[in-house]
Structure 1
Amino acid sequence: MIEFENVTKVYPDGTRAVENVSFRVEEGTTTVLVGPSGCGKTTTMKLVNRLEEPTEGTIYYDGTDTRTLDATELRRDIGYVIQEVGLFDHMTVGENVATVPELKGWDRERIDERVDELLALVDLPPAKYRDQYPTALSGGQRQRVGVARALAADPDVLLMDEPFGALDPITREDLQDEFLEIQEEINTTILFVTHSIDEALKMGDRIAIFDVGEIVQYGTPNEILSQPANEFVEEFIGDDRTLKRLGLIRVEEVMEPVADGTQDGRTPDEAVSPDANLESALSRMLQEDTDTLSVRNGDDRLVGRVTRERIQDTQRAQVER
């Protein structure tokens, strides 16, 4: 879907922002570009929709050199979400979401249906929010509108530049979870920029770690956690690599299933979802001062149990690999 081939970006003052970068973003996957400030990750993203132009090398979009495509049309075909959101405050939420479909000449009925569909998708009921103005919304709600606007014209590719970076930790985590659910529905190809390795591990199918304009490692979250390429990657990940790897394993994978109809007498506070990760399950155990949690599905039906012993066994197995 998107491919970088030996791409370098040098600014007129001689700054080499990106140096000989090559990687491929597979269709329907999320690739996260992560690294410290000034490492070239945002410049790399902007090269995709030609907000920046490469000095050397080639960027392919569906096999076509982006330099042969009309820049304006390319940007209308690619969704773009930024940290500052960039909503038009003089326009309603619905009008903001409708911006690109109107530019592409969609008919009114189709636009209205798409606006309502997307507001519902990002958990902003259209009857309540369509006619509100962005200034009346919270930061998290504005960010949701930004995501809806970026998705409005059914883009094949979505660029997300620190989309949740300005939000408080709780809102940020909630939106991350919601967006992962949205991605399962839309199956869009996503290039996601962040400075947070924890966010990268949570959001990415593939991760590109940048250092001073170069990709120093590209791989799956598990590959990066289990086999960091060098000392920079090790330090960037942090000392808790084993705990972070628990964040990649779902409770469902290690729980002890129970027979349908089994009761355990535990309160909802002592339960986790099958889709929760082992890191969060362990945290819940410490919080509740318990060695066992119920595993309940969306219907609050008991489907299994997960124990601290099982999590610790999994953790030891991760260390031995």
Structure 2
Amino acid sequence: MIEFENVTKVYPDGTRAVENLSFRVEEGTTTVLVGPSGCGKTTTMKLVNRLEEPTEGTVYYDGTDTQTLDATDLRREIGYVIQEVGLFDHMTVGENVATVPELKGWERERIDERVEELLELVDLPPEEYRDQYPTALSGGQRQRVGVARALAADPNVLLMDEPFGALDPITREDLQDEFLEIQEKIHTTILFVTHSIDEALKMGDRIAIFDMGELVQYGTPNEILSRPANGFVEEFIGDDRTLKRLGLIRVEEVMEPVADGEIRAVDDEPSAGVVAPEITLDSALSRMVQEDVDALSVRDGDGRLVGRLTRERIQSTQRAHTE
């Protein structure tokens, strides 16, 4: 879907923002660009929609050199979400979301249906929020509107530049979780910029780690945690690699399934808290520590008991991932 081939970007003052960059973003996946400030990650993302132009090399969009495409048309095909959101405060939520479809000449009925669909998708009921103005919304709600607007014209590619960076930690985590659920439904190709390795590990199917304009490692979260390419990557990831790897494993992957005959016994355990099968092992371990228990019962969205997770089970998983 997106490919960088020997791409270099040099600014007029001689600053080399990215150097000989080559990697491919597969269709329907989320690739996170991560690294310290000034490492070239945002420049790389902007090369996709031609907000920046390469000095050397080629950026391909769906197999076509972006330099052969009209920049305005290209940007209308690509969704764009930024940290500051950039909503038009003089326009209602519905009008903000409808911006790109209107520019593309969609019929009114189609636009209205799309606005309603997207506001529902980002958990902003249209009957309540469509006619509100952005100034009346919280930061998290404004960010949801920004995501809806970026998705309005059903783009093949979505660029997200520190989209949750300005939010408080709780709101940020909630929106991360919500966006992962949205991505499971829409399967859009996403480039996501962040400076946080924890956010990269949570959000990305693949992670591109940058240092001083160079791509130093590109791989899955598990590959990066298990085989850091060099000392910089090791230091950037941090010392708690084992705990971070628990954040990549869901409870349902390692829990002890509960058979019908065992349901009463597990239900009767007074020490067992309750968790959902889709949460990660690091969250489950935190729950055990907070509640001072050694076992958790696992229940699905309908409240059905589906398994049991013990502290011993988590520890054995940790050992397996350090061998």
TM-score (norm 1): 0.98
Aligned residue identity for 2:2: I
How far 1:260 moved relative to its partner? Answer: 4.1
Q: 1:267 to 1:38 in 2, by over 3 A?
A: farther
Aligned twin of 2:249: 249
Which of residues 302, 308, 313 is equivalent to 1:310?
313
Q: 2-side partners of 1:148 and 1:97: how far apart? A: 6
Aligned twin of 2:174: 174
Aligned twin of 1:203: 203
Aligned residue identity for 1:310: R
SS in 2 for 1:192: strand
Q: Is residue 31 of structure 1 aligned with residue 31 of structure 2?
A: yes
* Contact 1:216–1:229, Cα closer than 8 Å, also in 2: yes
Quick check: 77-86 or 254-263, which moved more? 254-263
Q: 2-side partners of 1:25 and 1:140: how far apart? A: 28
Q: Is residue 288 of structure 1 aligned with residue 308 of structure 2?
A: no
Q: Deviations over 1:246-273 (max 9, x none)?
A: 1111100110111248240468992111
SS in 2 for 1:319: coil
Aligned ranges for residues 229-244 of structure 1 at < 5 Å? 229-244=229-244
Count of paired positions: 320
How far 1:300 moved relative to its partner? Answer: 1.2
Aligned ranges for residues 100-139 of structure 1 at < 5 Å? 100-139=100-139
* Contact 1:260–1:303, Cα closer than 8 Å, also in 2: no
Aligned ranges for residues 205-224 of structure 1 at < 5 Å? 205-224=205-224
* Contact 2:80–2:160, Cα closer than 8 Å, also in 1: yes
Aligned residue identity for 1:144: R
How far 1:222 moved relative to its partner? Answer: 0.2
> Among the aligned pairs, what percent are the same residue?
88
Aligned twin of 1:41: 41
Aligned residue identity for 2:70: D
* Contact 2:36–2:211, Cα closer than 8 Å, also in 1: yes
Q: Deviations over 1:58-89 (max 9, x none)?
A: 00001000000000000000000000000000
Aligned twin of 1:164: 164
How far 1:303 moved relative to its partner? Answer: 0.5
SS in 1 for 2:154: coil
Q: Deviations over 1:114-138 (max 9, x none)?
A: 0000000000000000000000000
Q: 1-side partners of 2:153 and 2:269: how far apart? A: 46
Q: 1-side partners of 2:110 and 2:260: how far apart? A: 45
How far 1:241 moved relative to its partner? Answer: 0.2
SS in 2 for 1:298: coil
Q: 2-side partners of 1:185 and 1:214: how far apart? A: 33
